[in-house]
Chains A and B, each alone.
Chain A
Amino acid sequence: MQFINETLSLAWGLILGFDSKVFEIVWLSLKVSLTSLILSCLFAIPLGIILGVYKFVGRNFVVLILNTLMGLPPVVVGLSVYLLLSRSGPMGWMNFLYTPYAMIIAQFILIFPIISSLTCQKVEELNSEYKDLFVSLRVKKTQQFLIFFLDSRFALLTIFLAGFGRAISEVGAVIIVGGNIDHVTRMMTTAIAMHTSQGDLSLAMALGIILLLIALTVNLLVFSLRLFVKRYGYD
């Protein structure tokens, strides 16, 4: 117990003292996760809306694939991206391996299926709710797209936060393609793994606490969003 208490107080010391090493890692993690998240949303949300609205040939197949990819083990993604980016791989010429870009690509692949299939589910729901309305007012397809986007804005925000949760807490993929290089690709999760194995527990603990606080904030946001949405009849 003594030992845990000591580690904890050291960890808090690092956090409250704004330890530059700790916050460099936190900042990189946030940058990488948010970038991959925003990139994912840019492509996954329109795809989700299209999949939710149109019943084209092969649509069910795409949905099935996306749903399967949702539960993809991060290490497998890491391995695949590694193979793509490695010197002799098809994208080796980009020299992305062991850079933050590689981690962004890996996280993009991890989050993309989550965002697109959750968006698709939501839009499918909305489409069956609104299809009579759209025919009754002859609403144009382009306007329908806009309506789906606006109407599901709170649901999309929740989906966004779910994607963020997956990105920030993920370790398997980024450690393979990033390599956990100090000052370059050291993320919160990879640093925790490394420092724990090296016995530098206070630093690991400090990062763990921050990761927990981030998760807590995200969940708090989701929770207050739900309350807000209920209160204003947007659910």
Chain B
Amino acid sequence: MTNKKEPKIEIKDLKFCHNGKVLLCVDYLRIDSPGITVIVGPNGAGKSLLLKLIQGIELPSAGQIRLNGLPISDKRQSQSMVLQTPILMRLSVYQNMSMCFERKNFFISASEKQKIIDILSRVGLGKKLSAPAKLLSGGEKQKLSLARSLISNPSILLVDEPTSTIDPNTTMLIEGLIKDQSKKGTKIIFVTHDINQAFRLASDAIMIYQGKIVEQENVISFFENPKSDFTKNYLAGKLLV
């Protein structure tokens, strides 16, 4: 169905404006590496906005986005996004998984149920299946939100700072999950503020500054020999918003 030669993600002349201000402007962006692409940049640079546009949550003012050669609205698209602020339903942890899960039949089969329980156990929520999701801690909410996106085994997964409120141990665990998913063939775009984390995960990296992509490089050159001054300063902790 999808052509192997098509880039995973291709963006042309993308613009997102609000009240006459251009918040994001991408002339051309092509992501075709198989691994994990990390996006970095200061607060308000437009990282979340870019992910939301790729997912179709926000609609661009101009331009087009194609995933695996298809427009994002295509029904065959299997992609999911982990939002920066998790949105949980007034249901139990288990139901938050099962209600969003694309099942074969109306009722969830035993194997689907087991799959949900397995993934919740892997993120450490195995003992909280029937707890109300709204009463979870901030970190637990992020874990649930990540688990909910992983379960559908998407071909493209966009993750917006999934470990921003997560303890160091669990961060390692989540990075492990992300890497495993990437090995299963999922293209992952990962937004983070943690430079070390970016270095640990990335195969290539993108720097966004003031709504523009200022650098896109493989991970080694990005961190060791950045071309753009913005990236140099950002990595050195000197870039101001």
Interface residues of A (CB under 8 A from B): 129-130, 132-133, 135-140, 143, 146-147, 150-151, 232-235
Which residues of chain B (152-210) have a CB below 8 Å from chain A?
A: 152
Interface flag for B17 (CB, 8 Å): no
Interface flag for B100 (CB, 8 Å): yes
Interface flag for B149 (CB, 8 Å): yes
Whether B90 and A233, one on each chain, are in contact in the complex, defined by CB atoms closer than 8 angstroms, is: yes
Query: Please, which residues of chain B bring their CB within 8 A of the CB of A147?
Result: 89, 99-100
Contact string, B72-110, partner A, CB cutoff 8 A, digits 1/0? Answer: 000001111111000101110001000110100000000
Q: Which 4 pairs of residues, A with B, have the shortest CB-CB distance?
A: A233-B134, A233-B135, A133-B87, A136-B81
For the complex with contacts A136-B82, A138-B102, 17 further pairs of A-B residues with Cβ separation under 8 Å are A129-B87, A130-B89, A132-B87, A136-B57, A136-B80, A136-B83, A137-B80, A137-B148, A137-B149, A138-B78, A139-B99, A143-B99, A143-B100, A143-B102, A233-B90, A233-B132, A234-B132
Min CB–CB distance A230 → chain B (angstroms): 11
Residue of B nearest to A152 (CB): B90
Residue of B nearest to A232 (CB): B132
Whether B99 and A234, one on each chain, are in contact in the complex, defined by CB atoms closer than 8 angstroms, is: no
Interface range for B: 20 to 34
C-alpha spacing A130/B96, complex, angstroms = 12
C-alpha spacing A133/B52, complex, angstroms = 11
Query: Please, which residues of chain A bring their CB within 8 A of the CB of B87?
Result: 129-130, 132-133, 136
Residue of B nearest to A140 (CB): B102
Which one of B77, B78, B102, B149 has the highest number of Cβ atoms from chain A below 10 Å of its Cβ?
B102
Query: Please, which residues of chain A bring their CB within 8 A of the CB of B99?
Result: 139, 143, 146-147, 150
Interface flag for B231 (CB, 8 Å): no
Residue of B nearest to A138 (CB): B80
Given the known interface contacts A130-B87, A151-B90, A234-B90, the answer about A136 and B102 at a Cβ–Cβ threshold of 8 Å is: no
Query: Please, which residues of chain B bring their CB within 8 A of the CB of A129?
Result: 87
C-alpha spacing A138/B78, complex, angstroms = 8
20 pairs, CB–CB < 8 Å, chain A vs chain B = A133-B87, A133-B89, A133-B100, A136-B55, A136-B83, A137-B81, A138-B78, A138-B80, A138-B102, A139-B100, A139-B102, A140-B102, A143-B100, A150-B89, A150-B99, A151-B90, A233-B90, A233-B133, A234-B132, A234-B134
Query: Please, which residues of chain B bring their CB within 8 A of the CB of A136?
Result: 55, 57, 80-83, 87, 149
Query: Please, which residues of chain B bring their CB within 8 A of the CB of A151?
Result: 89-91
Query: Please, which residues of chain B bring their CB within 8 A of the CB of A235?
Result: 90
C-alpha spacing A132/B86, complex, angstroms = 10
Query: Please, which residues of chain B bring their CB within 8 A of the CB of A135?
Result: 55-57
Min CB–CB distance B211 → chain A (angstroms): 20
